[in-house]
Amino acid sequence: MQDPTLSAFQQFIRDRYHETDSARGPARTFLWFMEEVGELAEAIALRERGDGDNVNLREEFADVLAWLTTLANITGVDLAQAVHEKYVVDGGPAGTK
């Protein structure tokens, strides 16, 4: 899947992992997500210190996106719709225009 849309990526994650993710549930999945956010923070910190590995940085961004997508799937949130409503229709958070 080269350069997927957000909807296509969400469907890909659903097709591949939904059974396992649903069984784990939102609370435990959120803990996995936060672990990945921590790994991303570490990769960014290493990069800021000049010790970063760009391959690892990209992998950590991908992991965070995948786990966020998993959370959306198991809680019934359509990410593309949520992004559209929040950032396109509503114009994004206050103070960012």
Domain that holds residue 65: 27-97
**pLDDT score of 52 more than 70:** yes
Which positions ≥6 away from 90 have C-beta within 8 Å? none
**% the chain with pLDDT above 90:** 84
Q: Answer yes or no: is 86 within a domain.
A: yes
- Identify the pLDDT of residue 2: 84
Q: Answer yes or no: is 61 within a domain.
A: yes
Q: Answer yes or no: is 9 within a domain.
A: no
d(CA 18, CA 77): 13
Q: Which of 12, 10, 20 is nearest to 73 (CA)?
A: 10
Q: What is the pTM of this model?
A: 0.88
CATH number for position 66: 1.10.287.1080
d(CA 66, CA 86): 20
What pLDDT digit, counting tens, does each position of 11-30 carry?
Answer: 999 999 999 999 999 999 99
d(CA 32, CA 5): 24
Q: Answer yes or no: is 8 within a domain.
A: no
